[in-house]
Structure 1
Amino acid sequence: MVKHPKPAWEHPIYTEEQINKVTVAHREAKTWSDYVALGMIRTLRTVMDLATGYKHDHAVSLGKKDPAAANQKYAMTERKYLIRNIFLESVAGVPGLVAGMLRHLHSMRRMKRDNGWIETLLEESYNERMHLLTFLKMASPGPFMRLMVLGAQGVFFNAMFISYLISPRTCHRFVGYLEEEAVLTYTREIADLDAGRLPQWEKMEAPQIAIDYWKMPEGKRTMRDLLLYIRADEAKHREVNHTLGNLDQKNDPNPYVSEYRDLTKPHPTKGIEYLQPTGWERKDII
C-alpha cells in the first residue's frame, strides 16, 4: 500500500474550543483601497452564486412568507454544497500563489530578503489546495463545473497578477473580504447540518486525507468536524490578509514569522489561539 507523502507544511493543531469560537465577521471599509476591494468581492460573490446555484438571500426572503416554497425552490443539498465548496476552493488557492510568486521575483530583482512574507503566502495557497483535495474525495464535478473552474482560474489568476503589481495592499484586503465570505458559507453549512437539512452528512466521516492533514482526533472525524476545521482555516486566512493589508508592503516584516519577546501577550501566530477576525492593526504589532 502506497502512503501519502507528508505535507510540505505541518498544519497547526486546533483545539475543539478554538474551532468552535470562530465567528462571522466583517471589517468595515475605511480607505479607497478597501472600497475597491469590497466592490470586487461583491462582484465575485455574485458570479460564484450564479455558477453554483446558491441563492441564500432569496431563500431567506421567500422563507419569511412561504417556508415550504423556499425550501423546494432554493434548498441547498449536500451535492450542491460540495460543488460550491470545490468551486470556492479552486479559486481561493490562487491569490497566495500569485502574491508569493511575485514577491519571490521581486526579492530576486532587488537582491534583498522579503521579510518573511513569501512562505506564509505559499502556505496559505497550499492550505486552500488541501481543502479542494478533501472535497474532491467526496464529490466529482461534472464537465460543466470543470469548465467553469478552468475559466475562473484563468481569469482570476491574470486579474490577481496585474492587480498585485499595481496595489498589493488592495489585493490583501480583497482576499480578507473573500475569506469573510468563506467563513460565512461554511457557517451556513454547519447550521444547515445541525438543523437536519443535510441528512447524508450527519454520519459521514471525513476522508483519510483530512484526518491526516488536520490530525483529527478519534471521535472527532465527522463531516461537521471537518467543516469546523476548514472554517477555522478560512478565519485564519481572513485574519492574515487583513493584517498584511494593514502593513507597509515593502518594508514591514511578516508578523506571523516574527519572534516576540513577551509570549504571554496576544500576538500573531500560525495558529488560532489569538484569532483577530478583522486583522491586527499595524500599530499593535510593528
Structure 2
Amino acid sequence: MLQIDKTDLTHHHAPHGLSDRFALALVRGLGALARSLFGRRYGNRTIVLETIAAVPGMVAATLLHLKCLRRLQDDRGWVRSLMDEAENQRTHLMVFVTLDRPNGFERILILLAQGLFYNAHFLICLFSPRTAHRLTGYFAEDAVKGYAEYLREIDQEQRENPPAPEVAIAYWNLAPDARLRDAIVAMQADEAIHRDINHGFATALANGQDLPDPPSPLL
C-alpha cells in the first residue's frame, strides 16, 4: 500500500538518475514560463496550468486500461484512481474559472498548452511510465508550494478572500459560509495526495514492480 500523508506539505522527492532529473527540469521550466507570462495573476496562471494538470491522470489511466486488456490482468484499482485524479484536477480548474474568466489570449494559450502537453505526455507515458509519473509528482509538488504562497498572501491581506464558489462547497463538502481560503486548503491537500501517489508509482516502477500496491482510498 502506498503511503500517503496529505498533511505533509514540505516533502520533496530528491531526483535519482536521468529520468527524475529530466522530469524535475521540465516542471521547473514550465513553472518559470508560467510565472513570466502571468506574474502575480495567480488565478489566470492556475487556469492554464490546471488544464495541463488534468491531463496526466487521464493519459495514464487510458494507457494502463489498454495494457491490462492486452495482458488480461487486473488493474488493482489504478485505472479508477488515476481517473479520479484527473477529475479532481478538473474541479480545481472549475473553482478558479468561477473567480476569474480567462481572456482571449489565455484561451489560445490553453489550447496550445493542452495540445502540446497531451501529446508529449502521451509519448512519455508510452515509452517511460516511470518518467511520466515522476513528472506528475513534481507538478503536484509545485502546486503545493503555489497554493501555500496563495494562502500566505490571503492571510497577509494581499489577496481577496471571497466566498467559496458553490462547486467547491459541493465537491469538498465545505461549510455553507466557507471562503476561498478553505477551498485552497482543500486543493493543497489534494495536490499532496497526487504528489505521493505519483512519486510512489514511479518509485515502484523503478524498483521493478509492474503494478505497485494501490493507494489508500483517500481521493
Partner secondary structure for residue 151 of structure 1: helix
Aligned to 2:134: 173
**Structure 1 counterpart SS, 2:64:** helix
1:84 matched to 2:45 = yes
- Cα distance in 1 for partners of 2:171, 2:67 equals 31
| Aligned pair partner of 2:194 in 237, 249, 262 | 237
Give the alignment partner of residue 228 of structure 1, picking from 185, 195, 217: 185
In the alignment, is the contact (CA less than 8 A) between 1:90 and 1:153 conserved in 2? yes
Alignment deviations for residues 227-273 of structure 1 (CA, whole Å, 9 cap, x no partner)? 101111111111111111111376334421xxxxxxxxxxxx2339x
Asked if 1:194 corresponds to 2:152, the answer is no
Q: CA deviation at 1:154?
A: 0.3
Query: What stretches of structure 2 of length at least 5 have no aligned partner?
Result: none
1:131-280 correspondence runs (5 A): 131-198=92-159, 200-201=160-161, 204-219=162-177, 221-248=178-205, 251-256=210-215, 269-271=216-218
Q: Return the structure number with greater helix share.
A: 2
Q: Give distance in 1, aligned partners of 2:170 and 2:140.
A: 24
The separation in 2 between residues aligned to 1:155 and 1:50, in whole angstroms, is: 19
Aligned residues: 213
Give the AA of the match of 1:44.
L
Contact 2:134 2:198 in 1 (8 A): yes
Give me the whole-angstrom Cα distance separating, in 2, the residues matched to 1:115 and 1:98. 17
Q: CA deviation at 1:112?
A: 2.2
CA–CA distance in structure 1, aligned partners of residues 77 and 164 of structure 2: 33
Q: Distance in 2 between matches of 1:29 and 1:37?
A: 9
- Higher relative contact order structure (alpha carbons within 8 Å, sequence separation ≥ 6): 2
- The CA deviation at 1:106 is 1.6
User: How big is the shift at 1:223?
Assistant: 1.1
Residue 46 of structure 1 pairs with residue 32 of structure 2:
yes
SS in 2 for 1:44: helix
User: Which AA in structure 2 matches 1:234?
Assistant: E
Structure 1 or 2, whichever has the larger Rg, is 1
Q: TM-score, normalised by structure 2?
A: 0.91
Q: TM-score if structure 1 supplies the norm length?
A: 0.70
Could you list the runs of 5+ residues in structure 1 that have no partner in the other structure?
A: 1-17, 54-75, 257-268, 273-286
Contact 2:169 2:176 (8 Å CA) reproduced: no
Task: Extract structure 1 runs of 4+ deviating beyond 6 A.
Answer: none
Alignment partners' CA distance in 1, 2:176 and 2:105: 38
Percent identical residues: 36
Q: Which amino acid aligns with 2:36?
A: L
Q: CA deviation at 1:109?
A: 2.1
CA contact (8 A) 1:93 1:129 kept: yes
Matched-pair contact (CA < 8 Å) for 1:22–1:235: yes
